[in-house]
Amino acid sequence: MILRKLYLLYTSFFSSKLVLFFILFILTTELLLTDLLLPVTHDDIKSGAFSSLNDHIVSSKLCDPRVKQYSGYLNIAPDANMFFWFFESRKNPKNSPLTIWLSGGPGYSSMFALFQEVGPCKVKRNMNKSRLAANSWNEVTNLLFIDQPIGAGFSYGARMVNTSEQAALDVYEFLQRFFTMFPKYASLDLHLFSESYGGHYVPAIAKLIIQNNNLIKAGKIKDIIPINLKSCGIGSAWVDPIIQMRSYVNFAENNTYKPLLGPQLIEAMRDTWILCKYNIDECYKTNTKQACIAANITCWEGYNGIFTQNSDAGLYDIRTKNDIPVPIYTKYLENPFVLESIGVNPTVITKYLEFNEEIYFRFTDSGDLYVIFKKESF
Ligand SMILES: *[C@@H]1O[C@H](CO)[C@@H](O)[C@H](O)[C@H]1NC(C)=O
Ligand SMILES: *[C@@H]1O[C@H](CO)[C@@H](O)[C@H](O)[C@H]1NC(C)=O
Ligand SMILES: *[C@@H]1O[C@H](CO)[C@@H](O)[C@H](O)[C@H]1NC(C)=O
Ligand SMILES: *[C@@H]1O[C@H](CO)[C@@H](O)[C@H](O)[C@H]1NC(C)=O
């Protein structure tokens, strides 16, 4: 059920024929490129002790064994361990930029993006093996996946953030720790990419980076590493709830395939939209928790509830009634050797969780979903 509620907050690149064509093209190219299957072996494992206060970093040969890689945890606060998986660029890493990828949600693991979207390997057929992905972004950039906020994916600890601005502080702290640990990557051009709820994360993180860079330049803060942010990118971004929420009813009524609701329910959605929009406006104007929670209630339970309770259209393909099948990569991340190889703490993480809905609910309960993150209002 939760997935149904999340429709549109979560990424979809699968929404048009053009994109479908593109994906088929990618799949074909990938099959042609290489069939190198990389089995998991004991040699991949090089781990040390775990602690809730210390970093734990390993360098495995999984996924993309031809490049230098690091994964594991950086401790960003007492009992707050943020998981990452870093791959050097396949070409000229010293002169490539650094690109960070964050999954959305809030609450999705960035391992989803690593294996299903932009990362260096795919898991197919045999669930204990991976093979190189031809069009991984690390063809041209050093690539860093971070599981954030704490509690998403393999990250763990007592720290619980409730808003995008709090999450940005933690990512910032992570970057400070990462660049301290790996100073050679700190001077590279940095590109910050995300999707879906990244429409909140990316502006919040970028704003913090720019503010702190200015303070560093003005000599107002010391012992902080300036971050060389050059660009931001967000796919399927959740950035302006008024525009995006309003489009739900239009899409239900009028899309390329068929109306998703009958005329009376469309009418009911248009009626409830009035209050939903009023509340989002208030949330934009006042930016108070109270106003934004009010929007959360009237927009989901009222307006959007009419859709979710009455339509059985597939989340990612409205021509069907199917949800997306559980992807094979999650099985790969259930293999204890894989987890040990990439430095996952086995005493805390007993099973890979693609989406941690507790995080999602913490963000909805703070009203964060309805805050606008566009320049003029942010
Ligand atoms: C994958 O590896 C795990 C751990 O070694 C093993 O239990 C499981 O049977 C393997 N699965 C396949 C399909 O080989
Ligand atoms: C988030 O909310 C929880 C529950 O209200 C609270 O315990 C926690 O301290 C909050 N986190 C932050 C970073 O303020
Ligand atoms: C349906 O959408 C198309 C494309 O946006 C638009 O041209 C058309 O006017 C819409 N029809 C109705 C009835 O809203
Ligand atoms: C906000 O909306 C979500 C659905 O996205 C719902 O699960 C949650 O209970 C709502 N929270 C509040 C405080 O209304």
Could you write out the DSSP letters of every residue in 88-130? Answer: --SS-GGGS-EEEEE--TTTB-THHHIIIIISSEEE-SSTTEE
109 plus 202 within the same structural domain: yes
pLDDT of residue 374: 76
Is the Cβ atom of 50 under 6 angstroms away from ligand 4? no
- CATH number of 94's domain: 3.40.50.1820
Is the Cβ atom of 294 under 6 angstroms away from ligand 4? no
pLDDT of residue 297: 93
Cα of 353 vs centre of ligand 4, distance in Å, is 21
| Residue 253 one-letter amino acid | E
β pairing state of 129-132 and 37-39: antiparallel
Q: Give the residue whose CA is nearest to atom 8 of ligand 4.
A: 364
Nearest to 82 by CA among 8, 154, 21: 154
Cα of 281 vs centre of ligand 4, distance in Å, is 18
Residue 112: CB partners within 8 Å, gap ≥ 6?
103, 327, 329, 354
Q: Give the residue whose CA is nearest to atom 14 of ligand 1.
A: 128
- Which ligand has an atom closest to residue 367 CA? 4
Tokens of residue 299, six digits: 């927009």
Is the Cβ atom of 289 under 6 angstroms away from ligand 4? no
175 plus 45 within the same structural domain: yes
121 plus 92 within the same structural domain: yes
269 plus 144 within the same structural domain: no
Q: Give the residue whose CA is nearest to atom 7 of ligand 2.
A: 160
245 plus 141 within the same structural domain: no
Per-residue DSSP letter, 355:
B
Q: Give the residue whose CA is nearest to atom 12 of ligand 2.
A: 161
- Which ligand has an atom closest to residue 333 CA? 1
Cα-to-chain-centroid distance, residue 333: 17
Cα of 367 vs centre of ligand 2, distance in Å, is 13
Residue 309: CB partners within 8 Å, gap ≥ 6?
none
190 plus 329 within the same structural domain: yes
Is the Cβ atom of 162 under 6 angstroms away from ligand 2? yes
Query: Cβ(103)–Cβ(194) under 8 Å?
Result: yes
- Which ligand has an atom closest to residue 158 CA? 2
pLDDT tens-digit profile, the chain (378 residues): 233 333 333 333 333 333 333 333 333 333 333 334 555 544 444 445 677 778 899 999 999 999 999 999 999 998 999 999 999 999 999 999 999 999 999 999 999 999 999 999 999 777 788 999 999 999 999 999 999 999 999 999 999 999 999 999 999 999 999 999 999 999 999 999 999 999 999 999 999 999 999 999 999 999 999 999 999 999 999 999 999 999 999 999 999 999 999 999 999 999 999 999 999 999 999 989 999 999 999 999 899 999 999 999 988 889 988 777 778 999 999 999 999 999 999 999 989 999 999 999 999 999 999 998 876 545
Query: Cβ(76)–Cβ(99) under 8 Å?
Result: no
Is the Cβ atom of 127 under 6 angstroms away from ligand 1? yes
| Residue 242 one-letter amino acid | I
Q: Give the residue whose CA is nearest to atom 6 of ligand 2.
A: 160
209 plus 250 within the same structural domain: no
Cα of 370 vs centre of ligand 4, distance in Å, is 11
pLDDT of residue 3: 32
Query: Cβ(132)–Cβ(89) under 8 Å?
Result: no
Query: Which residue range is the domain that position 232 belongs to?
Result: 2-239+325-353
Q: Give the residue whose CA is nearest to atom 9 of ligand 2.
A: 160
| Residue 150 one-letter amino acid | I
Cα of 222 vs centre of ligand 2, distance in Å, is 28
Please give the tally of structural domains in the chain: 2
> Does 149 sit behind a cis peptide bond, omega within 30 degrees of 0 on the bond before it?
yes
**What DSSP string runs through 289-334?**
HHHHHHHHIIIIIIIIHHHHHH----SS-TTS-PPPPPPTHHHHTT
β pairing state of 129-132 and 121-123: antiparallel
54 plus 161 within the same structural domain: yes
Residue 237: CB partners within 8 Å, gap ≥ 6?
195, 196, 198, 199, 202
Is the Cβ atom of 160 under 6 angstroms away from ligand 2? yes
Nearest to 161 by CA among 209, 218, 114, 205: 205
Cα of 369 vs centre of ligand 4, distance in Å, is 9
pLDDT of residue 248: 94
Is the Cβ atom of 81 under 6 angstroms away from ligand 2? no
From first CA to last CA, the distance across the chain in angstroms is: 32
247 plus 99 within the same structural domain: no
Tokens of residue 268, six digits: 């009911």
CA distance 201 to 182: 24
Q: Which helix (H) or strand (E) holds 302?
A: none
69 plus 202 within the same structural domain: yes
pTM across the whole model: 0.86
Is the Cβ atom of 50 under 6 angstroms away from ligand 1? no
3 state DSSP class of 279: helix
CA distance 58 to 39: 18
pLDDT of residue 49: 63
Cα of 335 vs centre of ligand 1, distance in Å, is 7
62 plus 90 within the same structural domain: yes
Residue 252: CB partners within 8 Å, gap ≥ 6?
259, 260, 261, 266, 269, 307, 311
Query: Residue 178: exposed, middle, or buried by beta-carbon count in 10 A (0-12, 13-18, 19+)?
Result: buried
R_g (Cα) of the chain, nearest Å: 21
Placement of tokens 């939903």 in the chain:
276
54 plus 106 within the same structural domain: yes
Cα of 4 vs centre of ligand 4, distance in Å, is 13
CA distance 268 to 263: 9
Residue 128 CA: nearest ligand 1 atom is 1
Is the Cβ atom of 331 under 6 angstroms away from ligand 1? no
Three-point CA angle 106, 208, 99, nearest 5°: 65
CA distance 163 to 93: 34
CA distance 343 to 352: 13
